[in-house]
A and B are shown apart, each in its own frame.
Chain A
Amino acid sequence: MVTIVIRSKPDRIIPQFYQQKLRLSTLYPSLKLPFELTKMASTTLTCYCSSLCSTLQFLQNQNPISKPLSQPVSRFLSTPISPPILTLQNPSLSQLYAFKKDSQIDDEEGDDSESVDLPDFKRNAFARPKLSDVLPDDIEIPKPGTPEYDDILEKLLPKKSPPPPREEIFAVVMVGSRQYIVIPGRWIYTQRLKEANVNDKIVLNKVLLVGTKTSTYIGKPVVTNAAVHAVVEEQLLDDKVIVFKYKKKKNYRRTKGHRQPITRIKITGITGFEDYPASTLEAETVSS
């Protein structure tokens, strides 16, 4: 595995998720590699895009046989990389599996003036890459449950705006011989209201019950002068229902489709109930 990391500042290791992966060839067209970069060849390019630095540094190959580069390579290579530096000439599997953590890096090669501290790879060649490979040991990742962790989460998670404020009121309304519980701001489907066009304002008079937070107005049978204001949104047909009649062994089958005409109504407000006698939870004493 060859990992190519471009460092903008020499002492800073940029964690993987801040980096973007780019194809080598698009960045450096003059770079002619002797081999194709396939996935399994596993060249991970990590570039810090906004500021390309002046040096390319090749990190150590996982293969224990290869030796680390002693000199950094210049940014725009005029000459193609010679194969012996990037040693990936068909490494045999046994060599890769033979890799151990305390690898056989030759530290005795002599200190070059430009030797680089290469980080230890803490995992096997074919293991899944993790953040801990690239992060230095100094970084403290906050644990879940701590307030710092929650702060980070708050910033990262998408913020849902709170639901719009609604009057805390409801009414029971009778429309088309059906009763509905109705809240201002919501819509309901009713039977088709024939003369109503779209965006017509409608007043529903048969209000059987109005409930607020503090009291109810129970209509006997109707709350007088109460009205529910609504706007017609749409005149449509309901979903199709197949009416199928069948008698067994008598060769009788009839199929019919049915779409009920329907109106969608949006409720805008409930008014007119304040004068009506209200009732509350306190039970009245029984008059003996």
Chain B
Amino acid sequence: MTRVKRGYIARRRRKNSLTRNITQQKIRALVSAHRDRDRQKSDFRRLWITRINAVIPEKEVYYNYSKFIHDLYKRHLLLNHKILAQIAILNRNYIYMIYNEIIKNEDSKEYLEMI
């Protein structure tokens, strides 16, 4: 006779013992901390990028985060993503001022031609 499945009772009995030893918990905790300290850097960068992207004005020209950063570097601005994201939250007007600075003169012509 083949093995007969005994139903769900045995399974329920086992479900209560989702435990780990203290030593195991400690190991997993420390390993996660170590690993996530490295991930933290990329996590935050992602967050900052989405925040900057959200704030950039898309009114007249087709403009977004990638173009913004490209223009930043073209104009020799050294501000990093963290600062830009913080400014975007706290004093949004300053982002618009930076945007105006960047978009002056020649570069804007190219975008207008693209349309």
**Chain A residues packing against B (C-beta within 8 Å):** 172, 174, 179, 181, 208-209, 211, 216, 218-222, 241-246, 253, 255, 279-281, 283-284, 286-288
Given A221-B76, A222-B78, A281-B93, are A181 and B83 also a contact pair (CB < 8 Å)?
Answer: yes
B105 contacts A287, CB within 8 Å?
yes
A55 to B43, CA, bound (A): 77
Of B27, B75, B94, the residue contacting A220 (CB under 8 A) is B75
Closest B residue to A215 by beta carbon equals B97
Q: Compute how far the CA of A288 lies from the CA of B96 in the bound complex, rounded to whole angstroms.
A: 21
For the complex, give the distance between the alpha carbons of A208 and B77 in Å: 8
| Shortest Cβ distance from B80 into A: residue | A179
B27 touches A211 (CB 8 A): no
Chain A residue, CB-CB nearest to B81: A179
Contacts of A242 in B (CB 8 A): 30, 33-34
Q: How far is the CA of A256 from the CA of B37 in the complex (A)?
A: 15
CB distance from A84 to the nearest CB of B (A): 67
Residues of B within 8 A of A281 (CB): 93, 96-97, 100
Closest to A280 in B: B97
A244-B33 in contact (CB<8A): yes
- Asked if A181 and B86 make an inter-chain contact with CB atoms under 8 angstroms apart, the answer reads yes
**In this complex, what residue of A is CB-closest to B111?**
A286
Interface of A: prevailing SS? strand
With CB as the reference atom, state the residue of chain B lying closest to A180.
Answer: B83
**Is B91's beta carbon under 8 Å from chain A?**
yes
Interface size class of B (residues with CB under 8 A): 20 to 34
Which residues of B49-68 are within 8 A (CB) of A? none
Q: Is the beta-carbon distance between B101 and A286 smaller than 8 angstroms?
A: no
For A241, list chain B residues within 8 Å (CB).
37
Known contacts A179-B80, A242-B34; 13 additional CB pairs below 8 A are A172-B79, A179-B79, A181-B86, A209-B94, A220-B76, A221-B76, A221-B78, A244-B31, A245-B34, A246-B31, A281-B96, A284-B104, A286-B109
Assess A208 versus B108: contact at CB under 8 Å? Given A172-B83, A279-B100: no
- Chain B residues lying within 8 Å of A211, measured Cβ to Cβ, are 91, 94
Q: Please measure, in the bound complex, the distance between the C-alpha atom of A107 and the C-alpha atom of B98, giving whole angstroms.
A: 89
User: Can you report 5 A-B residue pairs in the complex whose CB atoms are below 8 A from each other?
Assistant: A174-B78, A179-B78, A179-B80, A242-B33, A281-B96
Q: Which residue in chain A gives the minimum CB-CB distance to B108?
A: A286
Minimum-distance CB pairs A-B, first 6: A244-B30, A221-B78, A220-B76, A216-B97, A283-B100, A179-B83
Instruction: Return the chain A residue nearest B93 by Cβ.
Output: A281
B34 → A minimal CB distance (Å): 5
